[in-house]
Structure 1
């Protein structure tokens, strides 16, 4: 009887030790909004957006967060659903082709504007900010004129979590697109004078 009791007790203890925690499900995120039918204003200007220049730490699938002392933390269970550079390129093409702009995105073009985008920082921080910085270059193909301009955006996160960070990151790309549009309008005014 004691042997049966000890065997049962030992089996129960061993079974308890073998129970492992379940691994969290990986969450995948897109920067693009849900697809919608878009009006694209046709104009004489075409925009060619070559592949986006990203630092190595952003060329991997995991979302990153900047911690203290210049450390980058790679999320284990939060990943981009698509290549980040390709996603940024699509977002910029959508943003720059909005009807309020005098521009439109093209895959290839001969007399057009080339938009080169180099991103150095694009992440949430441990202290609740989202950072987007880098530079863009607008190149007028027909006149071989170039304008390079740095950009920096920093905004507080409205709520915690990677999901909210991605929402905020998408909004920051809209701000960048607006800055690029403003610069393009300035360049068109200079060309006309």
Structure 2
């Protein structure tokens, strides 16, 4: 009797596990894979991205939303498809190249080109808020090519045109373009 009772409990648990639905994930990329690259635009200037620093809450896969003055919601269903630091560099390079004809080159290529300015970017906040505003705050500085290490602070904010994480990511792309404009003004 005990064995049949244990078998019944075991099979009940197996069936219960099979009947529950798994949570589906939605993946996002910050850079725009659909953006076309113009073969005719050759970069007129280059910068070497030496460092990109992200806050800890952006160094994990989940998308986040500011839900209060000091609370951050971390989504389990909405995640970045690739590390945000990699996608941020791709988005920034795309915005600089398409809008400003400036190319970000890897630091190891910079050693061969001494006339290239070094770019440092520190992100303090890059988050959507529950009131429909997305913000990108931090600082950047350029070194080399006649530039002194003057820190440029930025605080870009844009309203989302709709609700949800997808719209937040679209707005984040626009904020990266705002940062690209600020960087290009200093190059």
TM-score, normalized by the shorter chain, greater than 0.5: yes
The alignment status of 1:166 with 2:165, answered yes or no, reads no
Distance 1:34 1:160, change over 3 A: same
| C-alpha separation in 2, matches of 1:161 and 1:102 | 32
Distance 1:77 1:105, change over 3 A: same
Structure 2 unpaired stretches of 5+:
1-11
Partner of residue 111 from structure 1, selected from 96, 108, 115:
115
| C-alpha separation in 1, matches of 2:51 and 2:180 | 16
Partners of 1:51 and 1:85 within 8 A in 2? no
Alignment length (residue pairs)? 167
SS of residue matched to 2:52:
coil
TM norm structure 2? 0.80
| C-alpha separation in 1, matches of 2:69 and 2:146 | 45
- CA RMSD across the alignment: 2.2
The alignment status of 1:138 with 2:137, answered yes or no, reads no
| C-alpha separation in 2, matches of 1:150 and 1:126 | 24
Range that drifts further, 144-153 or 72-81: 144-153
SS of residue matched to 1:97:
helix
| C-alpha separation in 2, matches of 1:69 and 1:42 | 42
Partners of 1:67 and 1:125 within 8 A in 2? yes
Distance 1:182 1:111, change over 3 A: same
CA deviation after TM superposition for structure 1 residue 21, in Å:
4.8
The alignment status of 1:128 with 2:132, answered yes or no, reads yes
CA deviation after TM superposition for structure 1 residue 106, in Å:
1.9
| C-alpha separation in 2, matches of 1:37 and 1:178 | 18
